[in-house]
């Protein structure tokens, strides 16, 4: 069974600094997607970034980038120039492309941004 | 506006009562999903549907039921058999095999 592990329950960062959130996953499949979702206090789940496993290039979206290490099954999220609005729960998620698209989520990392 | 709506935002259930959570999408997505989120945890899949009139159980389907009579709608019923229903419920939709997008959620509380 596929599992997703986020080993950092809480992280904090100073405003304008950089922070990296960790995620590891376990799968025997080779074609899959990995995601980072943000859940602010409103509890709406917002897609931050997506990585396709067959692409070697790391995905980037403005201040958000990932470090995808397929062999190590590692998928970390880097937030640059952190802003107060980045404070939220961040969830790493996995889905196998050839399956039913049901996603597996990690337990989440709570990010605090200090002014 | 295109998107996913869920209602109500808050729902209270009495002992032995069935309650239904609404999820509607106008994104023309084929697939829809229901997740449950407990405090301090990630999301767990309850049910999903990839086509009208068909749906599949997820990891924690016991005590829940769904229907998919229209492409746009995927209501979730929390039955009296669900002994611990207090949680935050999230609905999502996607094109087949693609990224899932989420609604704003429904908070269910037991009186």
Nearest to A45 among B45, B48, B90 (CB): B90
Is there a contact between B47 and B34 (Cβ–Cβ < 8 Å)? yes
b/e burial code for range A10-30 (CB count within 10 A of at least 16 → b): ebebeeeeebebbbbbebeee
CA distance A107 to chain B (A): 4
Contact B94 A50 (CB under 8 A): no
Nearest to A100 among B44, B48, B105 (CB): B48
Beta-strand pair A109-114/A10-14 = parallel
Closest-CA residue of A relative to B59 is A102
d(CA A86, CA A81): 10
Contact B43 A103 (CB under 8 A): yes
Nearest to A107 among B42, B45, B56 (CB): B42
Write the pLDDT tens digit of every residue in B11-69: 998 888 999 999 999 999 999 999 999 988 889 999 999 999 999 999 999 999 999 99
Closest alpha carbon to B63 in B49, B75, B44, B77: B77
Assess B56–A contact: CB distance below 8 Å, yes or no.
yes
Look at residue B1 in the predicted model and tell me its pLDDT: 56
Contact B45 A103 (CB under 8 A): yes
Residue B50: helix, strand or coil by DSSP?
Answer: strand
d(CA A1, CA B48): 18
Closest alpha carbon to A105 in A9, A30, A19, A25: A25
**φ, ψ for residue A94 (rounded to 5)?**
-130, 145
Check pLDDT > 80 for residue A115. Answer: yes
Write the pLDDT tens digit of every residue in B71-106: 999 999 999 888 899 999 999 999 988 899 999 999
**φ, ψ for residue A38 (rounded to 5)?**
-110, 135
Q: Mean pLDDT across the stretch A38-55?
A: 94
Is there a contact between B101 and B92 (Cβ–Cβ < 8 Å)? yes
């Amino acid at each position: 069974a596929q599992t997703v592990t986020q080993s950092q329950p809480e992280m904090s960062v100073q405003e304008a600094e950089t922070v990296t959130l960790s995620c590891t996953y376990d799968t025997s499949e080779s074609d899959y997607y990995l995601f980072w979702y943000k859940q602010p206090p409103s509890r709406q789940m917002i897609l931050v970034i997506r990585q396709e496993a067959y692409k070697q290039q790391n995905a980037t979206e403005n201040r958000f980038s990932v470090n995808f290490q397929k062999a190590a099954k590692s998928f970390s999220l880097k937030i640059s120039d952190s802003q107060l609005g980045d404070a939220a729960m961040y969830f790493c998620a996995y889905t196998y492309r050839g399956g039913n698209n049901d996603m597996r989520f990690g337990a989440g990392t709570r990010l605090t941004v200090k002014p | 506006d295109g998107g996913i709506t869920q209602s109500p935002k808050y729902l209270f259930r009495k002992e032995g009562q069935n309650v239904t959570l609404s999820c509607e999408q106008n994104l023309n997505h084929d697939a829809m999903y229901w997740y449950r989120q407990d405090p301090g945890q990630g999301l767990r899949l309850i049910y999903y549907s990839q086509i009208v009139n068909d749906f599949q159980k997820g990891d924690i389907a016991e005590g829940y039921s769904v229907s998919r009579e229209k492409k746009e709608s995927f209501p979730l019923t929390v039955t009296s058999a669900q002994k611990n229903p207090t949680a935050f419920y999230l609905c999502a939709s996607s094109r087949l095999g693609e990224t899932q997008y989420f609604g704003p959620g429904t908070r269910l509380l037991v009186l």
